[in-house]
Amino acid sequence: MAFVTDRKRVVGMGSAKTGTDHHWKMMVSSMALVVLIPLFIFTFGATLGSSYEEVVAYYSRPVPAAIAALTFMVSFFHFRKGVQTLIEDYVHGTMRKILIIAMICLSYGAAAFGVIAILRLAL
């Protein structure tokens, strides 16, 4: 006879045993994006229509560069987790693994590309 409470039985025990962790990561990244996206729009909007030199001077300051880099990293992390769930739900077999690997490479590559671009402007 097992003396296990209901809570102990439920914690971390989804179908793949990672559902709770995935949900919390999506909620945390969502709340981070609620703050970062308006900040990014205001900082990025200030440079629209500016010359290259003005954009470089603007992103040489640490706050706009940090906001842009964090927005790229958090949004592509959120994208990766969301699309991975979509692929796991609707694609089966070997194609599932191929698409998940391709999506992970795409999201990390795009995030790295964005952060490197911001760093080149900032430095």
Fold of 22-122: 3 helical TM bundles of succinate and fumarate reductases (1.20.1300)
User: What's the Cα-to-Cα distance from 33 to each of 40, 101, 110, rounded to whole Å?
Assistant: 10, 24, 17
pTM exceeds 0.85 for this model? no
Tens digits of residue pLDDT in 20-63: 888 999 999 999 999 999 999 999 999 999 999 999 999 999 99
Tens digits of residue pLDDT in 62-83: 999 999 999 999 999 999 999 9
List the alpha helices (DSSP H) in 46-61: 52-59
pLDDT reported for residue 86: 94
CA 56 from centre of chain: 25
List the alpha helices (DSSP H) in the chain: 6-10, 19-45, 52-59, 62-90, 94-122
